[in-house]
Structure 1
């Protein structure tokens, strides 16, 4: 599997021949310059196909480019019922889910899981229950927490199967911070963590060297990727 990190919580997962984009945030993202936003509109970073878009919740820093990208690639949006209904009403392909069972897709199985946060669109429309995704694939299992505080629910995640890598927010204020994410990784029984949702805005600035050091002290590997950097796992 290959993961490309674009900043904030936006990642591209490649599982076999399938591409899944998580929480697209580009055109209103302060990390992207105008020339990069032009490239996004014209070429979308040379991505040729994008079958799925996963949305954890409705805040603008997770959904601002959903419509543009979904129309460009004819992608299937997978999210909770309310978010899926929102996009269904404007003619996009959606698959609405909620907290429940695993659901089969060509790339593997997906389960919508608990996140402790909020969820509302920029226009005030209710975005349903925020969540995360647990992906079970033949290449390994991935946990995408979405924006969340530390919760005891995370202890349930590894009961479904060993996690290869977890994607966790570490910026604090609106989500877990570094120390809470370390506890979360212990709950998850997962030693490889991709840190997200940090440094995009002033309130969520972190010391990257200290964060990596604190995870390392707990015998855990924290990946803090640069914009556009990829990892294989």
Structure 2
């Protein structure tokens, strides 16, 4: 399994001959190294409906006939664009041919703003547990710190956790460091920072706060094998 980070909250997983994109915010993302025209995902996983996470899902899915897995209300909305969607909800898991996807809770908000300014309810925000090739990847989505992260960690042997550290819209570095402790992940990767002025952070300071997990600070395009 190959995992790469592409700025903001964009994560790519290559496994079982499939390419999975999580929260593919590409156009408008000043930190990403990706171009929509070059990406060929088989699957898109979404944590919630905010535009900086749904991103370029519609164009990518239409162009590549990708399956979109999302919280059910968001999946229903995206289905109106003719996309192949799978709507899931918190606590639910599904086995696919590329691995298993399970949705966990996140504490945030979730709505999509259309080009004409309409605000569409996106259902509950979520985190994602992805399990494949005997490995478990946790993408926390946008969230504050919450105590059930300890339960998520106890119920799942997490190999790598992607945690937001930007503060302002999500938990900041101090809370994210405590989240890493609760999750007991082998490796932690900070995400959702430095994209916009309110979420400017120094990931090295976050790294200093984390105990018990390896912290991997990734630039856009960096990758590693699990």
TM-score range, shorter chain: over 0.9
Q: Structure 1: where are the runs of 5+ without partners?
A: none
In structure 2, the residue matched to 1:229 is: 222
Change (3 A) 1:178 1:191: farther
Helix, strand or coil at the partner of 1:21: strand
**How far does the alpha carbon of each residue in 1:83-123 deviate from its partner, in whole angstroms, 9 at most, with x for none?**
10011111000000001332111122211110000001013
Task: Please report the TM-score for the alignment, with normalisation by the length of structure 1.
Answer: 0.90
After superposition, residues 107-146 of structure 1 pair within 5 angstroms as: 107-123=98-114, 124-146=119-141
Helix, strand or coil at the partner of 2:111: coil
**In 1: Cα distance, 2:157 partner to 2:24 partner:** 27
Count, aligned residues: 222
| Cα distance, 1:43 vs structure 2 | 2.6
In structure 2, the residue matched to 1:9 is: 9
**In 1: Cα distance, 2:29 partner to 2:123 partner:** 23
Kindly indicate whether the alpha-carbon contact (under 8 Å) linking 2:139 and 2:162 is maintained by their aligned counterparts in 1.
yes
After superposition, residues 26-175 of structure 1 pair within 5 angstroms as: 26-31=26-31, 40-44=35-39, 49-123=40-114, 124-175=119-170
**In 1: Cα distance, 2:130 partner to 2:98 partner:** 9
Task: Please report the TM-score for the alignment, with normalisation by the length of structure 2.
Answer: 0.92
Change (3 A) 1:206 1:18: same
Helix, strand or coil at the partner of 2:81: coil
Kindly indicate whether the alpha-carbon contact (under 8 Å) linking 1:185 and 1:191 is maintained by their aligned counterparts in 2.
no
| Cα distance, 1:187 vs structure 2 | 1.1
CA RMSD of aligned residues (A): 1.6
* Greater fraction of residues in helix: 1
| Cα distance, 1:41 vs structure 2 | 4.5
Q: 1:186 aligns with which of 181, 189, 214?
A: 181
In structure 2, the residue matched to 1:19 is: 19
**In 1: Cα distance, 2:91 partner to 2:38 partner:** 37
| Cα distance, 1:2 vs structure 2 | 1.0
**In 2: Cα distance, 1:188 partner to 1:91 partner:** 37
Helix, strand or coil at the partner of 2:123: coil
Helix, strand or coil at the partner of 1:99: coil
Q: Structure 2: where are the runs of 5+ without partners?
A: none
Helix, strand or coil at the partner of 1:3: strand
| Cα distance, 1:144 vs structure 2 | 1.0
